[in-house]
Amino acid sequence: MRTRAQVMGHPLHPMLVMFPLALIPLALVFDIVYLVRQEALWWTISFWMLLSGVVGGVVATIPGLIDYTTIGRDHPARRVATQHMVSGFALLALAAVSLFLRDFGQAPPSVNPWIPVVLLIGANAVAGLQGYWGGELVYRHAVGVNPRVAGEEQTPAPGQRAGPGTGFRPGGGMT
């Protein structure tokens, strides 16, 4: 099942999710360093990592929603895709509330610093579930996978030639 949100044949959503999935856990690492060392620099760094991760998550959501609309209501992947989407919204909500409680990175924060940290721990746990469901979509249901790679029969598009070295057999199908 090929995605509509793509650049040069490559799906956008998996390219974009790498940023929030790296930045949000990294923010948690810097939070832990702040809690241990009590140096304001680490809280500020965590704020900027988290802000970048939330913005990146919002951007990654757009092609994810486009991909979601390509899955038919009766397709077996629809339930998994819904779980993936809902967990993504939960992840962004937890991370955004944690971000909101950080006083724009000023330390010490006006709230107990453990509150945004615990929210961020929850966000990272949800990210693990979301990643699992994203993997299910790709590896079990081939959502967003090029049909040529997934092994589905294909014929060349108009203007493409079939034969050795082209990936297509004369008369249809893949080589």
Q: How does DSSP assign 14-55, residue by residue?
A: HHHTHHHHHHHHHHHHHHHHHHHH--HHHHHHHHHHHHHHHH
Give 66's pLDDT tier (boundaries 50, 70, 90): very high
Q: Which of 148, 129, 130, 132 is nearest to 140 (CA)?
A: 132
Q: What local confidence, expressed as pLDDT, does residue 152 receive?
A: 52
Count how many Cα atoms sit within 13 Å of the Cα of residue 67 in the half-sphere of its side chain.
28
Q: What burial class does residue 33 get, using C-beta atoms within 10 Å of its C-beta: 0-12 exposed, 13-18 middle, 19+ buried? A: middle
Q: Scanning the structure block, which residue is given the tokens 């990592």? A: 49
Pair type for strands 10-11 and 6-7: antiparallel
Q: pLDDT class for 166, splitting at 50, 70, 90?
A: low
Mean of per-residue pLDDT scores for the chain: 87
- Rounded Cα distance between 159 and 11, Å, is 23
Q: What are the domain boundaries of the chain?
A: 6-145
Confidence of residue 158 (pLDDT cuts 50, 70, 90): low
The reported pLDDT for the residue numbered 168 is 45
pLDDT at 142: 86
Evaluate whether 13 touches 5 at the Cβ level (below 8 Å): yes
- pLDDT at position 8, please? 84
pTM: 0.80
